[in-house]
Amino acid sequence: MTPNRRFRNVVRIGPVRVGTSYDNRGREQHTAACTAPRCGFSADYDSRTAAELAARTHRCPVR
């Protein structure tokens, strides 16, 4: 996750954190980011549902 972005409603689903923030146009975006070391998965989604689904179905490529 980009450290200087502020996230609201952060939840943790397995190793993945999902948070809502605003992009530089003031629109909501939803980010899923894996906290596992060496994974590095991070993606932005238009909807909270999509971000949480991605978090739930995420599999780390590295164990």
Residues that bind Zn ion (CB under 5 A): 34, 36, 39, 41, 60
Q: Are 19 and 1 a contacting pair, CB within 8 Å?
A: yes
DSSP run (H or E) holding 20: strand 16-22
Smallest separation, CB 24 to Zn ion (Å): 27
Smallest separation, CB 39 to Zn ion (Å): 3
Sheet with 42-45, edge to edge strand ranges: 8-13, 16-22, 28-34, 42-45
Using the minimum distance from each CB to Zn ion, give the nearer residue, 18 or 34: 34
Using the minimum distance from each CB to Zn ion, give the nearer residue, 9 or 40: 40
Amino acid identity, position 60 = C
Smallest separation, CB 34 to Zn ion (Å): 3
